[in-house]
Chain A
Amino acid sequence: DQQVKQNSPSLSVQEGRISILNCDYTNSMFDYFLWYKKYPAEGPTFLISISSIKDKNEDGRFTVFLNKSAKHLSLHIVPSQPGDSAVYFCAARRIGSGNTGKLIFGQGTTLQVKP
């Protein structure tokens, strides 16, 4: 049962353009969402997050949008740079009594930004 889904395995974008990575989830109990970025042979690194009480969070070139009714979130990168080429993972968790804060990850989307 895949609770967090990233349906696009890969995305290719020209440098300077916008990259949009999508993520869907099925568990309505999730209330915190994160994006992680992973380069080859390295562990995932935190990129940006959003609480379920918000619908948008922005950090520099990165913006995450959350649509709770659709159980959908997206990561926008503007402008895209070649150094953004990596695998991007969407993750979700529940906050509350008895929960450990563990993250549930999607399958990942490989972004290639072409110079």
Chain B
Amino acid sequence: GAGVSQSPRYKVAKRGQDVALRCDPISGHVSLFWYQQALGQGPEFLTYFQNEAQLDKSGLPSDRFFAERPEGSVSTLKIQRTQQEDSAVYLCASSPGIYEKLFFGSGTQLSVL
């Protein structure tokens, strides 16, 4: 595709529900990042994939957060038993290599009620 695609664009969940957020990176991009952006803040790193390998998950805030990229392209960020503090915009970014500029998707805005 032309850019990084994320779905859904908006997600409303009741507290305790599980959610799954999808990211379609630019075709052929090796690196894929997930970021969390709270209101009025900058994006905060969650996790990084190089192809299908998850090389860095140091930013995941708790074991309720899980990410995968099984075939080295599409990635899913799953949040189990959502809490109100999980409300944020979740951004996915991809890049052709390791130290190249990141291309961001428009994000998924998650609201937990």
Contacts and interface: CB of A to CB of B under 8 A. Distances in A.
Interface string B14-42: 00000000000000000101010000111
A108 B107 contact: no
Given A43-B4, A44-B104, A45-B104, A101 B95 contact: yes
The size class of the interface chain B forms with chain A is 20 to 34
B101 A46 contact: yes
Interface string A70-109: 0000000000000000000101010100001111111110
Nearest to B95: A101
A42 B105 CA distance: 7
A32 B101 CA distance: 11
A53 interface: no
Contact of B42 (A43, A45, A100, A107): A107
Nearest to B48: A100
Contacts of B41: 107-108
B74 to A, nearest CB: 17
B103 to A, nearest CB: 8
A89 B43 contact: yes
A95 B50 CA distance: 16
Nearest to A9: B40
Contacts of A102: 33, 45, 48, 56
Interface of A: 4, 6, 9, 32, 34, 36, 41-46, 49, 89, 91, 93, 95, 100-108
6 contacts: A43-B4, A46-B102, A100-B31, A106-B42, A107-B40, A108-B40
Given A91-B42, A101-B100, A103-B45, 14 more contacts: A43-B91, A43-B93, A43-B104, A44-B43, A44-B91, A100-B31, A100-B48, A100-B50, A100-B98, A101-B98, A103-B33, A103-B102, A108-B40, A108-B41
Closest 5 pairs (CB-CB, A-B): A43-B104, A105-B42, A100-B48, A46-B101, A101-B98
